């Protein structure tokens, strides 16, 4: 039986994220074409990696029908031109799909079943809205297994405000403005562009275009502007379109490898996977999910929250990030948290977001050799959280 091997994150890329809907970047672009573009870019950027050495392609999608169906990991691998000998599969853990794709192949690599895999996610919420085609079992409500609000994400965020009364709407709005400002600065400093792959777009009425940057960010967002937005999930509520991630389209991908295989092929890994944890919580307050999943991942790693020098936490809702920070005693404006901004500005194409977090953390690690450990973490629909602990391979203490 092979002993466990170190697993490393070699590279990550993504398409620019678009706004969902008829006016969005990808309104008439297929979902599978988005992930195919990402796979091809990963191969282009890593010419030392022979395509036949890829042992698995794990691609996540939350709504696995239409152009996001057909076992998209396999179908996208074929469409991307990988050898037919390379297998693939599809994953669904709602928002944590790409994160689960990474941890799933990482487990296979650590066990010795794979050397190198591609893991990522795609979500075209314009073509496939969250919940399309689902048929929730009536027992959920008739037997009171969950509260009626559990299946509506915005209502779960309002429930979180109830649970954390110190997190006011003004505080959530201030966090959202800061996220927009950090994304604008990251773009100005060319921190985001190196990991974006330009994506051809086409609309019947407009012809061809090229997506080269994210569509959702709203630079210049102000506290005053957010204060006036409607609260669609509850009268006089706290959750608005301004302090939440939007409905978005996009794809992400990464190369995950055994450390020894990466060294053999001359690949340069950016970070090492230390541990990961998933946890369940009450679905009606799904936003607290990252708290127990982070506690679990830290326990498995033998680390404490004080050991973490960078946090990439998905901003499904501002309140969900603030609840995490409050639990761990971290300030709302702690510079370790989402240094480049987050999903409130970038967007959150459900199953793809986990690898966006990883790609950004890897780039931040490269700029911060003083930081040894970081985490990527997110809340997940139906009451879950996921967290991955990473070690910075550029950490100066390792030399």
Number of H helices, E strands in the chain: 12, 12
Q: CA-CA distances (angstroms) from residue 318 to 75, 169, 322, 386? A: 36, 9, 6, 17
Biggest CA-to-CA distance, the chain? 61
DSSP assignments along 97-131, one per residue? HHHHHHHHHHHHHHHTS-SEEEEEEEEETTTS-TT
DSSP per-residue codes, 215-265 = S---TT--HHHHHTS--TTSTT-S--STTB---EEEEEEEEEEEHHHHHHH
* Cα separation, 129 vs 20, whole angstroms: 9
Cβ 116 vs Cβ 49: under 8 Å: yes
**Residue 224: how many other CB atoms lie within 10 Å:** 9
HEC string of 358-383? HHHHHHHHHHCCCCCEEEEEEEECCC
Measured distance between the N- and C-terminal CA atoms of the chain, rounded to whole angstroms: 32
User: Any idea which residues carry the catalytic annotation?
Assistant: 95, 348, 379
Concatenated DSSP letters of 36-97: HHHHHHHHHH-TTS-GGG--EEEEE-SS-SGGG-STHHHHHHHHTT--TT--EEEE-BTBTH
Are 154 and 232 in contact by the 8 Å Cβ rule? The answer is yes
Kindly give the interhelix angle for 153-163 and 318-328, rounded to the nearest 10 degrees. Answer: 40
Q: Give the distance from CA 282 to its chain's centroid.
A: 21
> With the CA atoms of 44, 45, 47 and 48 taken in that order, what torsion angle do they form, in degrees rounded to the nearest 10?
-150
How far is it, in rounded angstroms, from Cα 31 to Cα 124? 6
Cα 209 from Cα 193, distance rounded (Å): 18
Q: Which residues pair with 312 in a beta bridge?
A: 376
């Amino acid at each position: 039986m092979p002993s466990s091997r170190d697993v490393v994150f070699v590279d990550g890329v993504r398409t620019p994220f678009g706004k969902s809907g008829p006016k969005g970047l990808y309104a008439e672009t297929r979902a599978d074409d988005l992930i195919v573009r990402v796979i091809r870019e990963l191969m282009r950027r890593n010419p030392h990696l022979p395509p036949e050495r890829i042992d698995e392609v794990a691609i996540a999608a939350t709504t696995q029908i239409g152009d996001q169906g057909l076992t998209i990991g396999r179908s996208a691998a074929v469409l991307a031109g990988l050898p037919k000998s390379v297998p693939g599969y599809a994953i669904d853990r709602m928002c944590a799909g790409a994160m689960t794709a990474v941890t799933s192949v990482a487990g296979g690599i650590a066990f010795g079943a794979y050397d190198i895999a591609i893991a990522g996610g795609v979500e075209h919420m314009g073509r496939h809205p969250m919940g399309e085609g689902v048929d929730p079992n009536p027992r959920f409500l008739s037997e009171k297994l969950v509260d009626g609000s559990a299946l509506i994400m915005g209502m779960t965020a309002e429930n979180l405000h109830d649970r954390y009364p110190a997190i006011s709407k003004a505080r959530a709005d201030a966090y959202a403005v800061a996220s927009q400002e950090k994304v604008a600065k990251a773009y100005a400093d060319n921190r985001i562009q190196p990991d974006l792959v330009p994506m051809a777009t086409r609309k019947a009425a407009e012809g061809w275009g090229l997506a080269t940057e994210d569509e959702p960010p709203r630079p210049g967002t102000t506290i005053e502007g957010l204060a006036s937005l409607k609260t669609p999930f509850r009268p006089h509520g706290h959750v608005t379109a301004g302090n939440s991630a939007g409905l978005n389209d996009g794809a992400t991908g990464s190369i995950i490898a055994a450390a020894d295989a990466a060294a053999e092929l001359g690949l340069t890994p950016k970070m090492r996977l230390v541990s990961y944890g998933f946890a369940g919580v009450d679905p009606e307050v799904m936003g607290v999910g990252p708290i127990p999943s982070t506690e679990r991942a830290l326990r498995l790693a033998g680390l404490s929250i004080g050991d973490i020098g960078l946090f990439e936490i998905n901003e499904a809702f501002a309140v969900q990030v603030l609840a995490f920070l409050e639990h761990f005693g971290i300030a709302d404006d702690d510079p370790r948290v989402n240094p480049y901004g987050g999903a409130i500005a970038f967007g959150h194409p459900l199953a793809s977001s986990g690898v966006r977090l990883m790609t950004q953390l890897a780039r931040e690690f490269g700029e911060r050799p003083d930081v040894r450990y970081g985490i990527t973490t997110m809340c997940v629909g139906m009451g879950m959280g996921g967290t991955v602990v990473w070690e910075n391979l550029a950490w100066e203490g390792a030399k």
